[in-house]
């Protein structure tokens, strides 16, 4: 099992640390060739407009689409979720359109630029409560039938999956609870 973490910008180091804690090997992805032999790819939080530019100039924009088409597992957190969404608002911008959700950038307003709270992760029967860190987070404003809701917070879907694509509007890599990373490893296996 080898998971790549897109390492162009953003909090990719925290994802590598989380996978390390659960004994999963990771590598940095900076160019299309780095996608060879990966079971899964994480697109981390950061600044989505910057990530788009860097992915385009490195050739990774189309290479990530090809990776998904080959059945590779993808996990986008925060800005990563924005890149994977079907539609992006506030303002509109291009996206990879790999999961049928529409998202609004910075959708929780200026008052909650950043928040630590608890949401519900029913996937985990023993302890459905999950700590969630939101940082200038995108909000999922509509969701297609083919998308499975995996976690909610204050009535919003905050973790969703469509086939080989997983997205979170929060940052599971910034807590010491590794259940979402473990879930992704099961997806990628």
Is 181 among the residues known to form the active site? Answer: no
Angle between helices 48-58 and 60-69 (to 10 degrees): 90
Give 117-185 as a DSSP string: EEEE-TTSSS--EEEEEEES--EEEEE-TTSEEEEEETTEEEEEEETTEEEESS-GGGSS--HHHHHHH
Order the strands of the 85-89 sheet from edge to edge.
85-89, 99-104, 139-143
Is 171 among the residues known to form the active site? Answer: yes
Binding of ligand GLN at residue 79 (CB under 6 A)?
Answer: yes
> Residue 78: in which H helix or E strand, if any?
none
Taking the complex as a whole, the smallest distance from the CB of residue 26 to ligand GLN amounts, in Å, to 19
Candidates 29-37, 39-47, 59-67, 124-132: pick the segment binding ligand GLN (CB under 6 A).
39-47
Indicate which single residue of 45, 72, 119, 160 sits in contact with ligand GLN (rule: CB under 6 A).
45
Indicate which single residue of 15, 16, 105, 139 sits in contact with ligand GLN (rule: CB under 6 A).
105
Is 173 among the residues known to form the active site? Answer: yes
Binding of ligand GLN at residue 135 (CB under 6 A)?
Answer: yes
Binding of ligand GLN at residue 136 (CB under 6 A)?
Answer: yes
Q: Give the catalytic positions in this structure.
A: 78, 171, 173
């Amino acid at each position: 099992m080898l998971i790549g973490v897109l390492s162009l910008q953003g909090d990719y180091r925290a994802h590598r640390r989380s996978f390390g804690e659960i004994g999963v090997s990771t590598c940095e992805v900076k160019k299309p060739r780095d996608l060879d032999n990966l079971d899964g790819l994480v697109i981390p939080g950061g600044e989505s407009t910057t990530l788009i530019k860097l992915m385009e100039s490195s050739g990774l924009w189309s290479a990530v689409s090809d990776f998904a088409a080959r059945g590779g597992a993808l996990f986008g957190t925060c800005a990563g979720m924005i890149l994977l969404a079907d539609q992006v608002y506030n303002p509109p911008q291009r996206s990879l359109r790999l999961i049928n959700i529409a998202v609004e950038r910075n959708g929780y307003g200026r008052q909650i630029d950043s928040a630590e709270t608890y949401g519900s992760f029913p996937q985990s029967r023993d302890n459905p409560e999950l700590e969630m860190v939101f940082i200038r987070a995108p909000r999922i404003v509509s969701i297609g039938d083919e998308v499975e809701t995996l976690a909610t917070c204050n009535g919003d879907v905050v973790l969703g999956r469509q086939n080989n694509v997983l997205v979170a509007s929060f940052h599971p890599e910034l807590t010491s609870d590794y259940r979402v990373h473990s879930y992704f490893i099961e997806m990628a296996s």
